[in-house]
Amino acid sequence: DGGITQSPKYLFRKEGQNVTLSCEQNLNHDAMYWYRQDPGQGLRLIYYSQIVNDFQKGDIAEGYSVSREKKESFPLTVTSAQKNPTAFYLCASRSGTPEAQFFGPGTRLTVL
Amino acid sequence: AQSVTQPDIHITVSEGASLELRCNYSYGATPYLFWYVQSPGQGLQLLLKYFSGDTLVQGIKGFEAEFKRSQSSFNLRKPSVHWSDAAEYFCAVGRNYGGSQGNLIFGKGTKLSVKP
């Protein structure tokens, strides 16, 4: 089955530690996205990548980093510079424009 | 700047009643419009999309939405709500120009509760 997988589903980290969230898609989509979701805030774009080996900052990129070395993978690192990292993180991909984005199941990160 | 407004944070309807969720957007050109649904702790699922053509679009799970350019609206409707429709609903507009082409701007969501 084609789709987007995110792992792990739940992640706990101590304050000051970097953590990497995984996102993999087998839809052969060119574009991939990372969003952060907080209660009552909707979805806010962290980073996006329109093509392999290229990515752009979204609206709230500070304290995050990404890589796009393979078409199917777009990992997100939450660094210790992110002041309030506890949130629900969603990965998405898109095949072209004006196509819709398709979402993974999300990772809930809790920083203790 | 582009924006999406969902005026209702929380709506409660009785099972079997009709539903309309409001969405207004601000965009200079013909927008690409989407409705997504999210169950607690899950990812977003696409309900329907509008790119062009017929302004009344049909989606999955019995939902439909109507694009009204004059009102800058894209309201979601369902004639008879089921208990399983309880979830959070997000409206989004797609950017169709420049380097951020294909990016989405989301509203803050409307949470739907269904009374038995």
Once rounded to an integer, what is the mean pLDDT over residues B41-50? 95
Query: Mean pLDDT score of chain A, rounded to an integer?
Result: 94
CA–CA separation, A23 and A77 (whole Å): 11
Percent of chain B having pLDDT more than 90? Answer: 80
**B contact test, residue of A33, A101, A107 with most B CBs within 10 A:** A101
Q: Residue B102 is nearest to which of A31, A58, A88, comparing CB atoms?
A: A31
- Quick check: A80 and A71 in contact, CB under 8 A? no
Residues 59-88 of A with CB under 8 A from B: 88
The pLDDT value recorded for residue B99 is 66
Tens digits of residue pLDDT in A77-104:
999 989 899 999 999 999 877 789 999 9
Spell out which residues of chain B touch residue A3, defining contact as CB-CB under 8 Å: none
- Quick check: B83 and B116 in contact, CB under 8 A? yes
The pLDDT value recorded for residue B31 is 85
Count of CB pairs separated by less than 8 Å, A with B = 59
Judged against a pLDDT cut of 80, whether residue B49 lies above it is answered with yes
CA–CA separation, A34 and A92 (whole Å): 6
CA–CA separation, B38 and B90 (whole Å): 8
Asked whether the bond before B116 is cis by omega within 30 degrees of 0, the reply is no
Residues β-bridged to residue A12:
A110
Tens digits of residue pLDDT in B75-92:
999 999 999 999 999 999
Residues 19-48 of B with CB under 8 A from A: 32, 34, 36, 41-46
CA–CA separation, A9 and A59 (whole Å): 24
Tens digits of residue pLDDT in A13-29:
998 899 999 999 999 99
Judged against a pLDDT cut of 90, whether residue B95 lies above it is answered with no
Percent of chain A that is helix, strand, coil (3-state, to 5): 0, 50, 50
For B61, phi then psi, to 5°, come to 60, 25
The pLDDT value recorded for residue A10 is 96
Q: Residue B43 is nearest to which of A40, A42, A90, comparing CB atoms?
A: A90
The pLDDT value recorded for residue B96 is 66
Does A11 lie at the interface with B, CB-CB under 8 angstroms? Answer: no
Q: Could you tell me the two tokens for A69?
A: 């070395």
Residue-wise over A8-28: b if at least 16 C-beta within 10 A, else e? eeebebeeeeebebebbbeee
Tens digits of residue pLDDT in A30-76:
999 999 999 888 899 999 999 999 999 999 999 999 999 999 999 99
The pLDDT value recorded for residue B48 is 96
Spell out which residues of chain A touch residue B106, defining contact as CB-CB under 8 Å: 42-43
A40 contacts B99? CB cut-off 8 A:
no
- Quick check: A45 and A57 in contact, CB under 8 A? no
Q: Residue A103 is nearest to which of B44, B99, B108, comparing CB atoms?
A: B44
Alpha carbon of B70: minimum distance to chain A alpha carbons (Å): 22
Return all residues near A56 (Cβ < 8 A) that are at least 6 apart.
A47, A48, A49, A50, B99, B100
Q: Residue A100 is nearest to which of B46, B107, B108, comparing CB atoms?
A: B46
For B62, phi then psi, to 5°, come to 80, 10
CA–CA separation, A32 and A52 (whole Å): 9
At B11, the pLDDT band (50, 70, 90 cuts) reads: very high
Judged against a pLDDT cut of 80, whether residue A106 lies above it is answered with yes
